[in-house]
């Protein structure tokens, strides 16, 4: 019994160590390699770099129009999030607060969207975006991503609105505030935590999305960062260090957002799952 318990403890630590190694290992190894020269990478794949030089990063921005992709990603991330939050904030508020005809139908339709794998919509969305004249435009991506975040944002925001006591609005109405004033002046400010959670999830979606970015854009004018890795894989291939640097450039913002806003990410994931 004693031996069994000791064995379990050893097994536990081995498991934890393995998980940490698998999660951190690839990331740290590529980080190290991003400072190495080609020769170092080939001959000293596992060791420390001789010096921490940033020339690979500089080269990465020269070989691929990474700065263009970066700007696109930032624009898509910010506006995809703002659009999603504004629309779903308004809709979520009305759905949380008022009774009206077709409400259940609407809720049902919105949550059905969770059951559709994105890949099934590849060609239809391509056609729609093309018909609207938004193909290869950043605006097209912003609208499509705002739509993809619809079910999760709606759920997070309307559950948050439900926690706000009705008296808040009633006293605002008594003071003569209009519907729109009440929403933007009273409800929005106290719902900041809800918007924070939904916003972080939506930003990560926009920043990381790949499959629709690839079919809705062509040429470098409106491509986002994840695509840089795909399209310049072969250009980078002759210069490994640069390839590693480019990979880090894409990864680091997501990790920073996560570390800084861990609480929002965790509660966002939990909310999204309850919905599923």
Using CB under 8 A, pick the residue from 69, 72, 250, 264 that binds other proteins: 250
Using CB under 8 A, pick the residue from 74, 75, 82, 91 that binds other proteins: 91
Of 13-21, 49-57, 58-66, 191-199: span binding other proteins (CB under 8 A): 13-21
Q: Tokens 């607060």: give the residue.
A: 97
Residue placing its CB nearer to other proteins in the complex, 58 or 266:
266
Least separation in angstroms between CB 29 and other proteins: 5
Distance CA 142, CA 132 (A): 14
Question: Per rule CB under 8 A, is residue 180 in the interface with other proteins?
Answer: yes
Q: Tokens 């794998």: give the residue.
A: 117
Question: Per rule CB under 8 A, is residue 274 in the interface with other proteins?
Answer: yes
Least separation in angstroms between CB 41 and other proteins: 5
Please tell me whether residue 230 adopts helix, strand or coil conformation: helix
Length of the chain: 276
- Chain residues 139-178 in contact with other proteins, contact rule CB under 8 A: 143-144, 146-148, 150, 154, 173
Least separation in angstroms between CB 85 and other proteins: 11
Residue 138 burial (CB < 10 Å; 0-12/13-18/19+)?
buried
Residue placing its CB nearer to other proteins in the complex, 57 or 207:
207
For the chain, give percent helix, strand, coil, nearest 5. Answer: 80, 0, 20
Number of other CB atoms surrounding residue 125 within 10 Å: 18
Question: Per rule CB under 8 A, is residue 65 in the interface with other proteins?
Answer: no
Distance CA 2, CA 23 (A): 32
DSSP 115: G
Q: 81: number of CA atoms within 13 Å, CB side?
A: 19
Distance CA 222, CA 214 (A): 10
Letters for 214-243 (x = contact with other proteins by CB under 8 A, - = none) are xx---------xxx-xx--x------x--x
Using CB under 8 A, pick the residue from 3, 22, 105, 174 that binds other proteins: 22
Of 56-64, 92-100, 159-167, 190-198: span binding other proteins (CB under 8 A): 92-100
């Amino acid at each position: 019994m004693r031996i069994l318990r000791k064995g379990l403890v050893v097994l536990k630590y081995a498991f934890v160590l393995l998980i940490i190694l698998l999660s951190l290992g690839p990331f740290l190894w590529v980080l190290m390699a991003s400072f190495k020269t080609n020769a170092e990478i080939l001959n000293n794949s596992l060791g420390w770099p001789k010096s921490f030089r940033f020339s690979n990063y500089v080269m990465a921005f020269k070989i691929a129009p990474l700065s263009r992709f970066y700007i696109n990603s930032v624009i898509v991330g910010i506006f995809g999030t703002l659009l999603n939050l504004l629309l779903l904030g308004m809709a979520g508020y009305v759905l949380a607060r008022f009774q009206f005809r077709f409400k259940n139908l609407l809720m049902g339709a919105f949550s059905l969207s969770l059951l559709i794998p994105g890949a099934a919509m590849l060609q239809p969305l391509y056609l729609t975006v093309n018909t609207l004249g938004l193909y290869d435009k950043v605006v097209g991506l912003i609208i499509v991503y705002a739509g993809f975040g619809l079910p999760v944002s709606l759920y997070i925001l309307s559950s948050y609105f439900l926690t706000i006591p009705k008296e808040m609005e009633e006293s605002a109405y008594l003071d003569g505030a209009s519907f729109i004033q009440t929403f933007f002046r009273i409800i929005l400010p106290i719902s900041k935590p809800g918007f924070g959670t939904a916003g972080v999830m939506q930003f990560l979606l926009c920043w990381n999305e790949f499959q629709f970015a690839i079919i809705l854009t062509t040429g470098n004018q409106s491509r986002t960062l994840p695509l840089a890795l795909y399209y310049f894989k072969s250009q980078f291939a002759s210069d490994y260090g640069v390839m590693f640097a480019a990979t880090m450039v894409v990864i680091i913002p997501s990790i920073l957002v996560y570390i800084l806003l861990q609480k929002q990410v965790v509660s966002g994931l939990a909310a999204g799952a309850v919905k599923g």
